[in-house]
């Protein structure tokens, strides 16, 4: 007589429970990694725009000659909207405001800024004030 081998319902339920625990432990870390990787989209857009501002200053001795068009106003991946918040002949402040899911999930860093001296900053954004401005916002 041949015996059948199979998994019992209890064994299957234990495996499902273990998988559920592992997923619940790993999901927040994965989501944080996605937020941090999207943040580099805003950073690269700010650095590119700052380079354009410096090029304009080199050509005309003024930061006020450059304007954002609709193509330049978005970051390459579209997770950030660029804004020139302050601009005159000698000074500028550019901000990258997170949009969509990035604006809701990146509560730590929110809006990234850069000025003509290269000072990197973090200010209020779509989700309000940054919770704890961490050193990691620009690293």
In this predicted structure, the answer to whether residue 90 has a pLDDT above a threshold of 60 is yes
Q: How confident is the model at residue 6 (pLDDT cuts 50, 70, 90)?
A: confident
Question: Is 80 a residue whose pLDDT tops 70?
Answer: yes
Tell me the domain boundaries of the chain.
9-138
**Which tokens is 126 given?**
């779509």
pLDDT in tens, 91-122: 999 999 999 888 888 888 889 999 999 888 88
What string of H, E and C letters represents the secondary structure of 76-126? CCCCEEEEEEEECCCCEEEEEEECHHHHHHCCCCCEEEEECCCCEEEECEC
Q: What pLDDT does residue 47 have?
A: 94
The more confident residue out of 3 and 26 is 26
- The pLDDT assigned to 91 comes to 93
Which tens digit of pLDDT belongs to each residue from 35-77?
A: 888 999 999 999 999 999 999 999 999 998 888 876 678 999 9
């Amino acid at each position: 007589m041949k015996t059948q081998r199979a998994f019992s319902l209890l064994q299957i339920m234990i495996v499902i429970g273990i998988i559920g625990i592992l997923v619940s432990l790993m999901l927040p870390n994965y989501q944080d990694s996605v937020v941090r990787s999207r943040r580099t989209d805003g950073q690269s857009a700010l650095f590119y725009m700052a380079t354009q501002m410096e090029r304009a200053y080199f050509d005309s001795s003024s930061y006020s000659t450059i304007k954002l068009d609709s193509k330049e106003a978005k970051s390459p991946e579209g997770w950030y909207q660029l804004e020139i918040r302050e601009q005159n002949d000698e000074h500028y402040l550019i901000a990258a405001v997170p949009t969509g899911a990035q604006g809701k999930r990146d509560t730590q860093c929110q809006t990234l800024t850069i000025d003509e001296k290269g000072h990197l900053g973090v200010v209020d954004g779509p989700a309000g004030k940054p919770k704890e401005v961490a050193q990691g916002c620009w690293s």
